[in-house]
Amino acid sequence: MNDARPRLIAHIENATLAFGERVILKNCTLDIVEGAITCIIGLSGAGKSTILRLLDGLLLPSEGHVYVRNQDICHMSEEQRNRVRRKISLSFQFSALLDSLTVGENVALPLREHTRLSEAEIRRTVMDSLESVGLAHAYDNLPGELSGGMLKRAGFARAIVTRPELVLYDEPTTGLDPIVTNLITDTILRLREKLKGTAVVISHDLQSIFGMADYVAMLFEGAIIACDSAERIRNSTNPIVQQFLQGSEIGPIPI
């Protein structure tokens, strides 16, 4: 008998996390399907970016578990966790490039930190990553010389330069016009194909989400209340999901 269930690269199980009195996640469970793009939606400040940091091991839940490749990273030593994290990359919301370094030098940082490649190998690998996001011409530019969309793509290039299995994108289209948003969406799709990997994307841009997502998960009041294929989420009968998708003031979500 064949098991038709998709293979998971990561799984958050009943995770609870609070900062002081403020509970961010409570009994939150989420599956990340290998080879797919999963988009997480929800209200501003709901804790979506916190989920990325759980998957990357930057934060650990006070209760619950986070599994990556069936390994519970919550009960590892820091050294063991760092080994797992080398296969995961986080693309920050504001790119987080160092202003004093060129784009090429910024993208090369993970290679200099985690590999023993020669300078020639580093340059070739960096150039390949920049070509993947359409920025080969910007190798010697400083971040301050790039537009907002170019900065996002430079951040993507740095995120994929180590060829991670799982890439986490935090608000990749925030503050961008519709044309550049489409470019960023297409870039995420192309990078998934190039890496033959998995992506998790946090976004508020519904057009972008439904343009790239295989799965969509909705976070509400600290828990994932719906997670399914993009098409099923679009047609969900859950009133909270529908109110969010329609942007309506009327419904169970308190305004």
Which uninterrupted H or E stretch holds 175? none
CATH number at residue 77: 3.40.50.300
Mean predicted lDDT score pLDDT of the chain: 93
Which pLDDT value is given to residue 92? 83
DSSP letter at 3?
A: -
Host domain of residue 221: 1-87+202-255
* Residue 153 placed within a domain: no
- Would residue 134 count as lying in a domain? no
Position 1 scores a pLDDT of 42
Burial profile 104-128: b = 16 or more Cβ within 10 angstroms, e = fewer:
bbbbbebbeeeeeeeeeebeebbbe
Per-residue pLDDT tens for 188-242? 999 999 999 999 999 999 999 999 999 999 999 999 999 999 999 999 999 999 9
Q: Residue 83: inside a domain, yes or no?
A: yes
User: What is the separation of C-alpha 19 from the centre of its chain, rounded to a whole number of angstroms?
Assistant: 22
Does residue 161 lie within any of the structural domains? no
Tally of structural domains, the chain: 1
The SS3 assignment for 210 reads: helix
**What is the pTM (predicted TM-score) of this model?**
0.93
Residue of 140, 139, 142, 207 whose CA lies nearest to 178: 207
Say what percent of the chain tops pLDDT 90. 84
Domain-located, residue 170:
no
pLDDT per residue as tens digits for the range 163-177: 999 999 999 998 889
The answer as to whether 80 is a domain residue is: yes
Q: What is the mean pLDDT of residues 117-140?
A: 95
Q: Is residue 136 part of a domain?
A: no
Average pLDDT for residues 81-97, to the nearest whole number? Answer: 87
Does some domain include residue 140?
no
Name residue, tokens 């996002």.
152
